[in-house]
A and B are shown apart, each in its own frame.
Chain A
Amino acid sequence: MADASSGTLSLRHRLAERGIDGVTLLIVPAALFVVLLFVYPFAYGFLLSFAPAKGGWLENYRRFFDDPYMYRTIWYTLRLAIPVTLLNIAISVPIAMQVRHLRRQKLLTTILVLPITLGTVLVAEGLLSYLGPQGWLNRALMLFGMIDRPIRLVHNYWGVFISLVITGFPFTFLLTLSMISGLDPALEQAAATLGARSRQRFAKIVLPLIVPGLAVTFCLAFVDAFSVFPSAVMLGAPAGETRVISLAASQAAFEQYDYSYASAIAMIMAVVQLCFVGLVLLARGLFYKGPLGGGKG
């Protein structure tokens, strides 16, 4: 009896040493959630993609890469996702640099983050009329004589681009702001007392310290933009220059009812994303990633 209790006690101690105790059980619902809603569908789709209706097990992938109409969707998607993500980061950094010292930071943050609550469909719907040939923008530009005829901003690349910038910005901005607010203001003050002007302080102190965080932000925002769907259909040219990869997958699944082919496209999409994320994270490894403070204090 005494032996048994000391045995369980030492097991408990050994588990506790590895950080495992009763509280650890709380991850069970989350783990279950991930397995049922992510791991299982992913594995299912993965296997399904290798079981085409006819042909060998790689037939779906061969079909995709033989057909320019299909493999070009990768390029169309990248052509949207990368510039949009970079632009959003490029806008977020200077705004976050200004906002962090602002007393009314909360209000401004709320206003900037509002688009996140609107959803992509509502934004696309709004932009459709705002940017359209009879929309406010074109009418205003013509009124001031800046253009002669309406410029085309919908049903092409730029419509999707603008909509992605709007819906992606809040997310990028929030991540960037939290990173920049985390910097010790004394670092920049120290640089200033050493003679660094504001441009130099940004380039030599702030930027190198936030680059690793920006890389992660880029990955998250990129993945988000890469799966663009509603705005590509509504604001773009879904048959032409904004035929994005998610659209191709959707057509395979719901117009041709070829789930196996659709799964293969989804797998290709995942691989492309992983490649980019991997590249960015690899590059991130070249930068300093330690604590942002000076150590103690």
Chain B
Amino acid sequence: MATASADFRELRLDRISRTFGAHNALKEISLTVQRGEFIALLGPSGCGKSTALNCLAGLLPLTGGSIWLDDRRTDTLKPEERGFGMVFQNYALFPHMSVHRNVGFGLQMQNVPKPEIKRRVDEALGVVRLASQASKLPAQLSGGQQQRVAIARAIAVEPPLVLMDEPLSNLDAKLRLEMRAEIRRIHRMLGSATIYVTHDQDEALSLADRIVVLREGSVRQIGTPQQLYERPLHADVAEFMGFRNALKGKILRRAGDEVEVDCGLGAAILGTACDLTTGTEAVLAIRPSDLLATASGPIQAKVTGMEYRGEAYYGTATGAQGQELFFRSEAPLQAGDTVSLTAPKDRVLAYAAGAYHG
């Protein structure tokens, strides 16, 4: 069995593309993943992230580009020859096999001797803390346990690369948080590379060393969670990363990074330029948690709704020209009240009013 060595330096995607008829699901994506790295592919549904994962696993052939594991080209290999571990969204456990046989399946395919299989299966089940369930059938386990079996099965063959396709999306909120920590711990323990597909930015932020934001089959930004969270490169990435306020306006003044933009909401708003080049139009992106209700701020709006979230109140408001605003307030406000809002200038990101935004 041609299994890639777990000992590798890097995985390289070289302008990989995949088309379905006239639809470009992946457009020339390039990425280099170091050994030990945790990469999250993040994007809304239909952005091509699952396609990318299936291409990596070999379940979908590429229509362009190549995939390299060090000097070995892998995109021409069948999935069974790649030796990558994959965790499926619905787990895809073999329903007729016990947990032990599920986890040992990959080793069995490699003709590993029985005692060795047993030892390594026990080890993998120990890693996911399921050693006591080895003789059960998958249907006898809870969703979270099935998830762990799926992970144990993928890592039992000690693959150089573990691919995970939204593995937590079928779990309830509490279990999701627990499994998030588990996945992080297991990744650290194995030292292999993990590529993790998700549409949940919290998951990506908390798990990944680097996040790749995809949109319509193209890479929009590659960065650390901190970079993604604090300084998205483009307006659409910002929107996806939780900058819910997107205010269009005219640039009044620009000095270095600092811009002053008139959004028709009262006084001009001070912000930080991101991908602004020339031109006079800009979009200001602000997180609801950074747009604060205060006694005297530059933005004036009418409150339309209020929601209590424990640590503070979050409200919605409408500006003079119908702009929708999401803000934070220490005290509850009544719908119909006029509110004055402000945001620190380094938390107001100014982007070019691009075609992507809408």
The interface of chain A, by Cβ under 8 A from chain B, is 184, 186-187, 189-197, 200, 204-205, 208-209, 287-288, 290-297
- What residues of A have a CB within 8 angstroms of the CB of B92 in the complex? 184, 186-187, 189-190, 294
Interface residue B302 (Cβ < 8 Å from any Cβ of A)? no
* New A-B contacts (18) at CB < 8 Å, excluding given A191-B94, A193-B79, A294-B138: A189-B57, A193-B57, A193-B86, A193-B163, A194-B85, A194-B109, A194-B153, A195-B83, A195-B109, A195-B157, A204-B105, A209-B95, A290-B95, A292-B95, A294-B95, A295-B91, A296-B170, A297-B170
Contact A288/B141 with A196-B105, A295-B91, A297-B170 known, Cβ cut-off 8 Å:
no
Bound-state Cα–Cα, A68 to B146, Å: 60
Which one of B1, B86, B95 lies within 8 Å of A295 (CB-CB)? B95
Residues of chain B whose beta carbon lies under 8 Å from any beta carbon of chain A: 1, 3, 57-59, 78-86, 88-96, 105-106, 109-110, 137-139, 141, 143, 146, 153-154, 157, 163, 170
What are 9 A-B pairs with beta-carbon distances under 8 A?
Answer: A189-B57, A190-B86, A192-B59, A194-B85, A209-B95, A288-B96, A294-B90, A294-B138, A295-B95
Shortest Cβ distance from A296 into B: residue: B143
Contact A295 B139 (CB under 8 A): yes
User: A186-B88, A189-B88, A193-B86 given as contacts; is B59 within 8 A of A294 (CB)?
Assistant: no
**Are B88 and A190 in touch, CB under 8 angstroms?**
yes
- When C-beta atoms are compared, the residue in chain A nearest to B104 turns out to be A194
Chain A residues near B154 (CB-CB < 8 A) = 193-194
Chain A to chain B: the 4 pairs with minimum beta-carbon distance, closest first: A297-B90, A288-B96, A194-B106, A186-B92
Q: Which residue from chain A places its CB closest to the CB of B101 in the assembled complex? A: A204
Known A-B contacts A189-B59, A192-B78, A195-B106; A293 and B94 likewise in contact (beta carbons under 8 Å): no
> Of A189, A191, A296, which is within 8 A of B105 by CB?
A191
Chain B CB within 10 Å, residue with most, of A184, A205, A290, A296: A296
| A297 and B143 alpha carbons, distance in the complex (Å) | 9
Q: Are B170 and A208 neighbours in the complex by a CB distance under 8 Å? A: no
| Minimum C-beta distance from B116 to chain A (A) | 15
> Does A205 lie within 8 Å of B106, measured CB to CB?
no
Q: How far is the CA of A297 from the CA of B59 in the complex (A)?
A: 20
Chain A residues with Cβ under 8 A from B153's Cβ? 190, 194
Q: Is the interface of B mostly helix, strand, loop or mixed?
A: loop
Instruction: Tell me whether B90 and A195 are in contact (CB under 8 A).
Output: no
Chain B residue at smallest Cβ distance from A190: B92
- Beyond A192-B80, A195-B1, whether A295 also contacts B94 by CB under 8 A is no
Contact B84 A193 (CB under 8 A): yes
**Residues A195 and B110 in contact in the complex (CB < 8 Å), given A294-B146, A295-B139:** yes
CA distance A35 to B82 in the complex (A): 61
Residues of A within 8 A of B81 (CB): 195
CA–CA, A275 to B227, complex, Å? 72
Please measure, in the bound complex, the distance between the C-alpha atom of A192 and the C-alpha atom of B77, giving whole angstroms. 12
Tell me the bound Cα distance from A291 to B84 in angstroms.
27
Chain B positions within 8 Å of A209 at CB level? 95-96
Distance in Å: Cβ of B76 to nearest Cβ of chain A: 15
CB distance from A187 to the nearest CB of B (A): 5
Nearest chain A CB to B186's CB is how many angstroms away? 17
Give the residues in chain A near B84, CB-CB below 8 Å.
193
- Most central of A184, A194, A288 by chain B CB within 10 Å: A194
Q: How far is the CA of A10 from the CA of B85 in the complex (A)?
A: 57
The winner among A196, A287, A293, A294 for most chain B CB atoms within 10 A is A294
Query: What are the residues of chain A within 8 A of B105 when measuring CB–CB?
Result: 191, 194, 196, 204
A200 near B141: Cβ-Cβ < 8 Å: no
Chain A residues positioned under 8 Å from B137 (CB to CB): 288, 290
The distance in angstroms between the C-alpha atoms of A204 and B95, with both chains bound, is 12
CB closest chain-A residue, reference B141 = A295
Using Cβ atoms and an 8 Å threshold, which residues of chain B touch A200? 109
A287–B97 Cα gap in the complex (Å)? Answer: 11
**How far is it, in angstroms, between the C-alpha of A82 and the C-alpha of B48 when the chains are bound?**
50
Cα(A103)–Cα(B241), bound, Å? 39
Question: Measured between alpha carbons, how far is A290 from B136 in the docked complex, in Å?
Answer: 13
Determine the chain B residues whose CB is within 8 A of the CB of A194 once the complex forms: 80, 85, 105-106, 109, 153-154, 157
Task: Report which residue of B59, B89, B146 has the largest number of chain A beta carbons within 10 angstroms of its beta carbon.
Answer: B59
Of A186, A195, A295, chain B has the most CB atoms within 10 Å of the CB of A195
Residue in contact with B95 in the complex, picked from A192, A197, A293, CB distance below 8 Å: A293
CA distance A282 to B3 in the complex (A): 41
Residues in A with CB closer than 8 Å to B86 are 189-190, 193
The residue in chain B whose Cβ has the minimal distance to the Cβ of A187 is B92
Complexed CA–CA distance, A200 and B81 (Å): 13
A184 to B86, CA, bound (A): 16
Question: How far is it, in angstroms, between the C-alpha of A287 and the C-alpha of B59 when the chains are bound?
Answer: 29
Nearest CB in chain B: distance from A214 CB, A: 14
Tell which of B83, B91, B96, B106 touches A297, judged by Cβ atoms closer than 8 Å: B91
Which chain A residues border B141 with CB–CB below 8 Å? 295
**A253–B259 Cα gap in the complex (Å)?**
103
Closest residue of chain A to B82 (Cβ to Cβ) is A193
